[in-house]
Structure formats: C-alpha cells, structure tokens
C-alpha cells in the first residue's frame, strides 16, 4: 500500500493497517478516463470507464427491450469520495468495523475502476437486498454476463462484504 495517501487515510478513518489481508481483498486503482452515462436516481451525473459505459448502455437497451428498467445508482467513485462516505457514517456515530462490512476501505472499491455499477429498478428499494426479488435482478442474473458484468458480492463471498445484489462489475 502506498504510504502517504492510504496510510494517512486509514489512520484518519480508524481502518486497521492490516485491512484487506484477511480475508484477502483486491486493491483497485482509480481509472483516469471516464464517460458520462446519465444521471442516477437522485439526479447526480454518473460516470464509467469508456468500454464499461458502452456495455452499460447496450445492457440497458437490451433490458428495456425485455420491459426491464435498469437505473444507475452509483458508478465511478474516487478514493476520496469513498473516504467521504466512510467519514459521513463515522460522523453519524457508526463504528468503523460496522461500516467496513458495508463500504470497503478506500483503495479496495471496484467503483474506483469505473467498471462497477450499483443498479436499481422502479418499485424496489435501492441498495437493499429487496433488489434480489425484482425482475431486474432476474434479468441481470440471466443476461449481464453478455455485457461483461457479473455479481460481485454474492451471499457468503470470500471478501467478507455483505450480500449486494445491486452491485455488478465488468471485468476487462
């Protein structure tokens, strides 16, 4: 881990220095080139790496052809934005151990790559396990692989991250 940025961030946020060792977690670098893909469910512009943006748009069109609506919640996130999410939860009184079960530490988020997308659909609470019950999840489970996307955090995943049926990652 690079000493300056991550060591300082981890110390500031109270993240253990051995985070990501057990269980082993992959580190991700921030992508440099991004493309706008449209606004998310609260009106904030989202971005993905160019190839993932093209795949996202193709996947959204294909889902729409099957009467399925896929909505962006969160695409690219910088290391600093990931740290800000954790700071907000700390400031709200949450414990770092509890936060890290839901939000991975800066440097460990697939969102840094510009290839991860949190997805919602109308009628289902965003960023909740309820998404698993939606026709959108069923469609993604059957079709997302055709666009290079896969479910990152199934139940009981090896990285110890909570089950996230809404989080899909496109590996290059």
Residues 41-70: pLDDT tens digits?
Answer: 999 999 999 999 999 999 999 999 999 999
Alpha carbon distance, N-terminus to C-terminus of the chain: 23
φ and ψ at residue 64, rounded to 5 degrees: -60, -35
Q: How distant, in Å, are the alpha carbons of 29, 48, 120 from that of 75?
A: 15, 6, 12
pLDDT in tens, 90-129: 999 999 999 998 899 999 999 999 999 999 999 999 999 9
User: Is the pLDDT score of 1 beyond 60?
Assistant: no
Please give the full DSSP string across 94-129, using - where no structure is assigned.
Answer: --HHHHTTTSPPTT--GGGGT-EEEEE-TTS-TTSG
Q: How confident is the model at residue 159 (pLDDT cuts 50, 70, 90)?
A: confident
What does the domain layout of the chain look like in residue ranges? 27-170
The reported pLDDT for the residue numbered 9 is: 92
pTM tops 0.85: yes
27-170: CATH topology: Muramoyl-pentapeptide Carboxypeptidase; domain 2 (3.30.1380)
Report the C-alpha gap between 20 and 88 in whole angstroms.
21
CA 120 – CA 29 distance, rounded (Å)? 25
Mean pLDDT of 164-170: 98
Q: How confident is the model at residue 4 (pLDDT cuts 50, 70, 90)?
A: low
Q: How many Cβ atoms from other residues are within 10 Å of residue 130's Cβ? A: 14
pLDDT digits (tens, 9 = 90+) for 77-100: 999 999 999 999 999 999 999 999
Nearest alpha-carbon partner for 103 in 79, 126, 125: 79
Q: What is the pLDDT of residue 65?
A: 98
C-alpha distances out from residue 137 to 3, 63, 70, Å: 40, 11, 9
Indicate whether 3 pLDDT > 60: no
Residue 131 has phi, psi (to 5 degrees) of -55, -30
Integer Cα distance of 112 and 132 in angstroms: 24
């Amino acid at each position: 881990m690079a000493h300056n940025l991550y060591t300082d961030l981890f110390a500031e946020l109270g993240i253990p220095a051995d985070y990501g060792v057990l269980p082993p977690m992959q580190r991700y670098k921030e992508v440099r080139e991004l493309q706008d893909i449209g606004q998310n469910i609260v009106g904030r512009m989202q971005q993905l790496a160019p190839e993932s943006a093209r795949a996202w748009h193709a996947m959204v069109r294909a889902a729409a052809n099957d009467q399925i609506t896929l909505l962006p919640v969160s695409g690219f996130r910088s290391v600093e934005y990931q740290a800000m999410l954790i700071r907000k939860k700390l400031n709200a009184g949450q414990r770092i151990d509890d936060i890290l079960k839901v939000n991975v530490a800066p440097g460990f988020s697939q969102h840094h790559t510009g290839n991860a997308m949190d997805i919602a659909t109308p009628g289902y609470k965003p960023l909740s396990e309820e998404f698993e019950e939606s026709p959108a999840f069923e469609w993604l489970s059957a079709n997302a692989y055709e666009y290079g996307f896969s479910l990152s955090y199934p139940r009981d995943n090896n990285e110890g991250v909570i089950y996230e049926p809404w989080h899909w990652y496109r590996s290059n």
